[in-house]
Amino acid sequence: MQIRPATDADHPAIIAIVAPTLVAGETYAIARDLDSVGVGAYWFGPTHEVFVAEEDGAILGTYYLMPNQAGGGAHVANCGYMTAPAAQGKGVARAMCEHSLIRARERGFRAMQFNHVVSTNNRAVALWQKLGFDIVGTLPLAFNHPVHGYVDSYVMFRAL
């Protein structure tokens, strides 16, 4: 598996991964009714550096890296990661997160923050903890989950 910057040619494969996750609406606090143009505008937002995880020519996952804030907060990075359903359980998310930590350090970021990790997303919470992130805040009932209703979200943070 290789992780590399996304190219224009990757767009359809990226949209095919990101769109269903946003429609499902269980993990990202992003509009659930975006069309493919809206999905692309979100994932390739102006401050986003986008990468893909590729194996044998297939895109298994994608992530973006961005400054979480500007001004006095610009030294803290933020990322979003998504893995293709068919590639779950193969360590794609872990590999992308490890890659993003290295890339964020390269770019001079001093920390990484996830603003809204839905508490029911157990696999993600556990993985980020294994990769050095702490839960530094709990947002009470801040996510309206399509199955579980209002659930907590976590703010997760690690120094770089």
In terms of CB distance, is 27 or 62 closer to its own copies? 27
Please report, as ranges, the residues that interact with its own copies according to CB under 8 A: 22, 25-26, 28-32, 69-76, 110-111, 113, 115-116, 118, 136-146, 150, 153, 155, 157, 159
Quote the least distance from Cβ 112 to its own copies, whole Å: 11
Between CA 15 and CA 18 the distance in angstroms is: 5
In terms of CB distance, is 72 or 89 closer to its own copies? 72
Quote the least distance from Cβ 81 to its own copies, whole Å: 17
Quote the least distance from Cβ 101 to its own copies, whole Å: 16
Collect all residues with Cβ–Cβ distance below 8 Å to 86 and sequence separation of at least 6.
Answer: none
In terms of CB distance, is 57 or 71 closer to its own copies? 71
Q: What are all long-range contacts of 24-31, with beta carbons under 8 Å and residues at least 24 apart? A: 24/146, 25/146, 26/118, 26/120, 26/121, 26/145, 26/146, 26/147, 27/118, 27/121, 27/124, 28/80, 28/116, 29/116, 29/143, 29/153
Quote the least distance from Cβ 66 to its own copies, whole Å: 13
In terms of CB distance, is 94 or 145 closer to its own copies? 145
Is the Cβ–Cβ distance between 9 and 57 less than 8 Å?
no
